[in-house]
Structure formats: C-alpha cells, structure tokens
Structure 1
Amino acid sequence: MNLLGFLAALSGAVAIGAGAFGAHGVSGQAAEWLRTGGTYQLIHAVAVLVVVQQRATGPGWALLAGATIFAATLYAMALGAPRWLGAITPIGGALMIAGWLWLAWTMLRR
C-alpha cells in the first residue's frame, strides 16, 4: 500500500468538500478561510501525487503535512474554533515552502 498516495488522494477529497462548503454553506470570513484552505490543500494533494510517482517521498510528506496543518487550522476557525489557531497556520505554510525547496533540491540532484 502506498500510504502517502492514499493520504494525498484523501486530502484532495477533503479539499473539495471544504471548498464546496465554503461556497454554499457559509459566508463572510468563514467562507474565505474554507476557500483558501481548500485551494492550498487541493494544489498540494495533486503535487504530492506527482511527487509519489517520482519516488520523492520526503518532500511529499513535508508538502502533505504542511497543507494539512495550514488547511486544518483555517477549517477549524471557519467552524468556530478560537482565532488563536491562526498563529499555527504559518507553520503549515513554512512546511509547504520547505517541501517545495526540498523537492527542488531533490530534482536538481537527479
């Protein structure tokens, strides 16, 4: 079983659900948080699926972890969690950036 690929595909499904809920179920800031989280999560889910095909699992895990933290904190706030969770969101962003840089380094070395 390819756990990373499975989790990336599951992440894509969650992103679509969050984006749909943001478009049709809520309004205001909550809708924006859901759209932003959904967009970043979906982009990174697809990127991880591509990375899995390239057998670059290290960067894939960093991308998936970053997107999950980033999106999950936004989703939680959209659903009423305390806004201090917004202080955690940049950790996800930093992991996504690190994943992309790690991937760039990996591709350069091939």
Structure 2
Amino acid sequence: MPFFIIAGAVNGAISVALGAFGAHALADRLSAHYLDVWEKAVHYQMFHAIALLAVGILMSPSLFGPSASLTWAGWLLLVGIIIFSGSLYILSLSGIGILGAITPIGGMAFIAGWIMLIIAAVKFSH
C-alpha cells in the first residue's frame, strides 16, 4: 500500500529535520537530559519510519500483498511514532513531566505493530 511508503518517507524526512533542529537550534537551549530525550524521539521515529517503508513494500502484490495484519502493523507503527516520539518532543521542549506517562502508550503501539508484522510473515509462510 503506497500510503505506508509515503508515511514512512515523510516520517524519515521529519526525523532528519528534527534531528538537525535538535543538534543545532536546541543544543544551547535545552539541558543535556532533554537533548537526550529529543534524540531518543528522533531515533525511534527514524527506526519506525523505516519499518513503515518495509510494511508498504511488503504489501506490494509481488511480495506478501495487502493483508489485514500488515495494515494493522502499519497503523500501529504510525500511531506509535505520533504518541511515543511526539510526547518526547513535547516533553523536551516543555519540561512537562506528565507527558512521560503518555510515552509508554506509543511504545506499546510499536510493540503491537512489530507483533502484527510477525503475524503477517507467519501467515505468508504457510
């Protein structure tokens, strides 16, 4: 499904831009702790942008083809990026500690997305 390829590419580009922004514009404005939090958000966004690309590629008819498992994997990974990385970006900029309580929801979405990818691979192999 081209949607997940586009979503992966967009998130990859955003990740690079926010990584550069953090390294250059925020380096003198945030504490070392919050710069580390920002960097963690960037890394997880990029890892999962690549995973979205993989989901989109696997959905092509010449590979796994469209499947409910892959569709769920893609949506869960995208939601994970928004909640996990998004909450960490906002936490870094605002210092509002309660946002750290939201981050694990995004982490659970990541895990569920990876599990759905495993399910899709197992189904395809049978």
Same fold (TM over 0.5): yes
Match of 1:26 in 2: 26
Alignment of 1:23-102 (within 5 A): 23-27=23-27, 28-55=32-59, 56-80=70-94, 82-102=96-116
Give the superposition deviation at 1:81: 5.0
Query: Which residue is equivalent to 1:3?
Result: 3
| Shift in alpha-carbon separation, 1:81–1:5, aligned structure 2, 3 A | farther
23-32 or 91-100: which moved more?
23-32
SS of aligned partner of 2:94: coil
**Equivalent AA in structure 1 for residue 113 of structure 2:** G
Q: Classify the secondary structure of the residue corresponding to 1:79.
A: helix
Percent identity over the alignment is 38
- Counterpart CA distance in 2 for 1:81 and 1:11 is 24
Which consecutive aligned stretches of 4+ in structure 1 deviate over 3 angstroms post-superposition? Answer: none
How well do the aligned residues superpose, as a CA RMSD in angstroms?
A: 1.6
Stretches of structure 1 that go unaligned for 5 or more consecutive residues are none
Deviation string, structure 1 residues 52-109 (Cα, Å, up to 9, x no partner): 1111222011111112210000000111152101100000000000000111011001
- Contact map agreement 1:22 1:34 (CA 8 A) in 2: yes
Larger Rg: 2
One-letter identity of the residue aligned with 2:8: A
Q: TM-score, normalised by structure 1?
A: 0.90
The 3-state SS of whatever aligns with 1:26 is coil
Structure 2 stretches of 5 or more lacking a match? 60-69
Cα offset, 1:22, TM superposition: 2.4
* 1:6 shift after superposition: 2.0
TM-score (norm 2): 0.79
